[in-house]
């Protein structure tokens, strides 16, 4: 039997999804996009999964972009479908009701960086290289790169990466605000899992509230964003987890959140 194109590994409440085309530097062809979309849909509805970690197989790449060989052969209707599929996947990840952490273990280029930027947090290995090289192919980013990079790191970073097309080091990506942490290559998995496990111990409904409020806030005026925050805040008073979190503080013990 052939290897799955996306592998799934559960470590307690942390689900690790790995794009598994290392011989093609985990480039995103249609099958990979579809399989990832299904994997994220499944993670969204599986109550046992509290956090998702996304990474690429092998030592070299997170994801080196959309599959150029496949793209080269697409007809316009197929190109449109490819685009829709990619956009749908990125939105599904961004709107997942639980945190998604990208573990960037090597090249994150083009669609690969766009995929990492759709995740909620990014931890990069020191040796990782990140970029939007589409300009070198006579293209522009097509899975939301211009828009997410702009929102994540501002206009200077978006223009630097998209206009020049040259990959940047993980350290530079950190300086630009594109990645949250840069860690030694040998530490990448342990440090990423440590963050994921911390998230897995947190109150899921409150995590979801943060994701919803921050994402919605990026798209609206401050006043509306504050209204949204207030509504989310109020809703959490209906949860057992809020009673548990505040109760545990008062009783000087660690909380145990039940996702209720």
- The number of C-alpha atoms within 13 Å of 137 and in the hemisphere containing its C-beta is 18
62 token code pair = 């997170």
Q: Which is nearer to ligand DAK, 59 or 226 (CB)?
A: 59
Q: Minimum distance from CB of 146 to ligand DAK (Å)?
A: 11
Decide if 251 is catalytic. no
Decide if 189 is catalytic. no
Q: Which is nearer to ligand DAK, 56 or 142 (CB)?
A: 142
Q: Minimum distance from CB of 128 to ligand DAK (Å)?
A: 11
From the candidates 34, 94, 114, 240, give the one annotated as an active-site residue: 114
The site for ligand DAK (CB under 6 A) is made up of 24-25, 27, 64-69, 71, 79, 82-83, 86, 107, 109-111, 133-134, 137, 142-143
Residues 6+ apart with CB under 8 A from 30: 70, 81, 82, 85
Q: Which is nearer to ligand DAK, 27 or 213 (CB)?
A: 27
Q: Which is nearer to ligand DAK, 164 or 248 (CB)?
A: 164
C-alpha gyration radius of the chain = 19
Element (H, E) at 63: strand 61-63
Q: Minimum distance from CB of 53 to ligand DAK (Å)?
A: 22
Q: Which is nearer to ligand DAK, 37 or 67 (CB)?
A: 67
Element (H, E) at 101: strand 100-104
* Separation of alpha carbons 213 and 157, rounded Å: 24
CA dihedral over 210, 144, 147, 55, signed as positive or negative: positive
Q: Minimum distance from CB of 155 to ligand DAK (Å)?
A: 21
User: Are the C-beta atoms of 124 and 173 separated by less than 8 Å?
Assistant: yes
* Separation of alpha carbons 33 and 17, rounded Å: 13
* Separation of alpha carbons 151 and 219, rounded Å: 9
Q: Minimum distance from CB of 161 to ligand DAK (Å)?
A: 12
From the candidates 134, 160, 175, 197, give the one annotated as an active-site residue: 134
Distances in whole angstroms, Cα of residue 152 to Cα of each of 60, 158, 163, 176, 180: 25, 9, 17, 9, 11
Q: Minimum distance from CB of 125 to ligand DAK (Å)?
A: 15
Q: Which is nearer to ligand DAK, 83 or 259 (CB)?
A: 83
Beta strands in 111-204 (DSSP E): 121-125, 129-131, 168-169, 181-183
* Separation of alpha carbons 107 and 148, rounded Å: 18
Question: Catalytic residue numbers?
Answer: 114, 134
């Amino acid at each position: 039997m052939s290897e799955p194109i996306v592998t799934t590994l559960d470590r307690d409440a942390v689900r690790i999804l790995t794009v598994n085309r290392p011989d093609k530097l985990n480039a995103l062809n249609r099958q990979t996009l579809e399989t990832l979309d299904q994997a994220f849909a499944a993670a969204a509805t599986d109550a046992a999964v509290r956090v998702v970690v996304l990474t690429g197989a092998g030592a070299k790449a997170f994801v080196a972009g959309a599959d150029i060989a496949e793209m080269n052969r697409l007809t316009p209707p197929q190109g449109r479908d490819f685009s829709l599929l990619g956009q749908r996947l990125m939105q599904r990840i961004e709107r997942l009701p639980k945190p998604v952490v990208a573990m960037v273990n090597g090249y994150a280029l083009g669609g690969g960086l766009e995929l990492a930027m759709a995740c909620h947090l990014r931890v990069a290995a020191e040796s990782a290289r990140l970029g939007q090289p589409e300009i070198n192919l006579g293209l522009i980013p097509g899975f939301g790169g211009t828009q997410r990079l702009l929102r994540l790191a501002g206009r200077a970073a978006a223009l630097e990466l998209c206009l020049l097309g040259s990959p940047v080091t993980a350290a530079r990506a950190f300086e630009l605000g594109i990645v949250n942490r840069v860690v030694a290559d040998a530490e990448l998995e342990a440090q990423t899992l440590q963050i994921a496990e911390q998230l897995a111990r947190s109150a899921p409904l409150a995590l979801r509230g943060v994701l919803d409020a921050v994402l919605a806030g990026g798209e609206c005026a401050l006043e509306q964003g504050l209204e949204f925050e207030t509504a989310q805040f109020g809703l959490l008073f209906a949860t057992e987890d809020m009673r548990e979190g505040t109760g545990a503080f008062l009783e000087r013990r660690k909380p145990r959140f039940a996702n209720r």
